[in-house]
Amino acid sequence: MENAVQLLANAMHFVIYFASLNNLKLNATLLLKIIFGSEVQVLASFNDSITGAIMVKGPYGPIPDGHKKAIDYLIRQKKIKVNDNSNEITYTSISLPDITQFSEEKLVILREACSSMCINFTATMLSNYIHNNETWQLAKIGDRIPLVGFWPHKRIIPSPEKMKALSEEAASFKIPQGWSKD
């Protein structure tokens, strides 16, 4: 598996795991928007990328190139399960994610994006925000979306206190009963 798709799979698995652990509703569209928003934030804050994936304009929002391969890999490896509930596909993590390739700052951004977007927004609300962006409006379906066009006006970097609290929380994390390390 190519590196960008592997990084994307690991980032998606981390978001799915975090949402599962916190009983957050995470559908397929929202997952892709969390990855997109996190990529924009990491670029704006650190001039870096989480996955290296190219973002393209899809019919319902930005799509990381390779997302289908990443989801298929996670399913084949029995890392996530797919829940097909009527008109909505959701995911549940069934194993611990591999986060060894990600810095603490990138994990914080993924986690904060997941928490904020799952709790405070619907996929429709996020679509409205993205679709009102000039970069989005100028692109055609299938076009590459330059992340710089979505930069927030100021960089958001977690404070040292927030980073320390999150590190302590991560260090004290216990694997939930019934979860496999494999």
Rounded Cα gap, residues 93 and 177, in angstroms: 14
- pLDDT of amino acid 147: 84
- pLDDT of amino acid 15: 95
Q: How many structural domains compose the chain?
A: 1
Rounded Cα gap, residues 30 and 47, in angstroms: 24
| Residue 182: inside a domain | no
| Residue 180: inside a domain | no
Whether 156 has a pLDDT exceeding 60, the answer reads no
- Tens digit of pLDDT for each residue in 82-124? 988 778 888 999 999 999 999 989 999 998 888 888 888 766 7
Whether 51 has a pLDDT exceeding 80, the answer reads yes
| Residue 20: inside a domain | yes
Cβ(80)–Cβ(13) below 8 Å = yes
Whether 64 has a pLDDT exceeding 60, the answer reads yes
| Residue 133: inside a domain | yes
Cβ(81)–Cβ(94) below 8 Å = yes
Structural domain of 17: 3-171
| Residue 178: inside a domain | no
Mean pLDDT, the chain, whole residue set: 82
Predicted structure pTM score: 0.80
